[in-house]
Amino acid sequence: MVFDFFGSKKKAVISMAHIGALPGSPLYDADGGVDKLIEGVIQDIHKLQDGGVDAIMFGNENDRPYVFKASPEALSAMTAIVQAAKAELKVPFGVNFLWDPLASVAIGAATGARFVREIFTGVFASDMGVWAPDCAAASRLRHNLGRDDMKLLFNINAEFAHSLDSRPIELRAKSAVFSSMADAILVSGPITGMPSEVSHLRAVCETIQDVPVFANTGVNINNVSDILSLASGVVIGTHFKVDGNTWNAVDGDRVKRFMDVVHGLR
């Protein structure tokens, strides 16, 4: 099913603009500072837009090891980086602070983002410990900040984690839409850059009819045709990087080749 998610009815491609490690993270480059982070993400934005993506999502993918609650220094730095970089944007943008729904909503509201991605529902056993997000608090924060228009994209099967909920994934997705008012459902693989189980994506797409369903990880030029035959769109990061390495800069040629395939599918 195709939804009018970004102002036009087409299968949407949301591309990741991965920000380097933020202040407070062990991998933060203190010598380069925030200015270097801004410079790097702007370079990626230009390549993504030149390649023809539909939207861009800022994420702090390299803030490893990941945390459940953003530190003040990381929260303020990411807000400043997104605010500085958005002047270069020609497409809608969103944000995702891993793995903090409240921080993601706060940054999105402050910077004028159109959407936010996070783990909003469920309970998981994860690399970071037991994971139990507070969807109600994030939704109320969005409302209290006057941004009910900002869409919340629910990643329902978290990377680096295993759901402790025994319900089938399609039932968890339907429940998230019904009880937590998800604006979109995202289906992920077990780790960043790895695809979801096709059976999981198909089951969710066949069950969810009221909101878009996106494949959230592991999308590449070889599988995008099969994925878009099911899903409303894709979120793609790793495949657009030099040599397909998550931590590398964006490769503009890879973006263009991928989008050429997507245009053919549309």
Model pLDDT for residues 223-235, shown as the tens digit of each residue? 999 999 999 999 9
**Residue 116: which region, alpha, beta or left (left: phi > 0; alpha: psi -120 to 50)?**
beta
Residue 193 lies in a domain: yes
The single-letter code of the amino acid at 183 is D
Q: What is the pLDDT of residues 107-119, one digit of tens each?
A: 999 999 999 999 9
pTM of the model: 0.97
CATH of the domain at 48: 3.20.20.70
| Domain span including residue 147 | 12-265
Q: Are 26 and 71 in contact (CB under 8 A)?
A: no
In a domain, 5, yes or no: no
Query: Mean per-residue pLDDT for 186-197?
Result: 94
User: Is residue 260 pLDDT above 90, yes or no?
Assistant: yes
Distance CA 184, CA 120 (A): 12
Which pLDDT does position 227 carry in this prediction?
A: 97
Asked if the structure places residue 199 within a domain, the reply is yes
4 occurs within a structural domain: no
The strands making up 129-131's β-sheet, listed across from edge to edge, are 129-131, 124-126, 161-163
**174-205: string of b/e by CB count within 10 Å (b at 16+)?**
bbbbeebebbbbbbbbbebbebbeeebbbbbb
Asked if the structure places residue 7 within a domain, the reply is no
- What's the pLDDT tens digit per position in 28-64? 999 999 999 999 999 999 999 999 999 999 999 999 9
Contact 49, 56 (CB under 8 A): yes
Judged by DSSP in three states, 255 sits in: helix
* pLDDT for position 64: 97
Quote the number of domains for the chain. Answer: 1
Query: How far, in Å, CA of 241 to CA of 244, rounded?
Result: 5
Q: Quick check: is 157 in a domain?
A: yes
For the stretch 163-173, pLDDT in tens is 999 999 999 99
Compute the mean pLDDT over every residue in the chain, rounded to the nearest whole number.
97
Q: What pLDDT is stored for residue 30 in this prediction?
A: 98
More confident residue, 210 or 7: 210
Is there a domain that residue 2 lies in?
Answer: no
Residue 88 falls inside a structural domain = yes
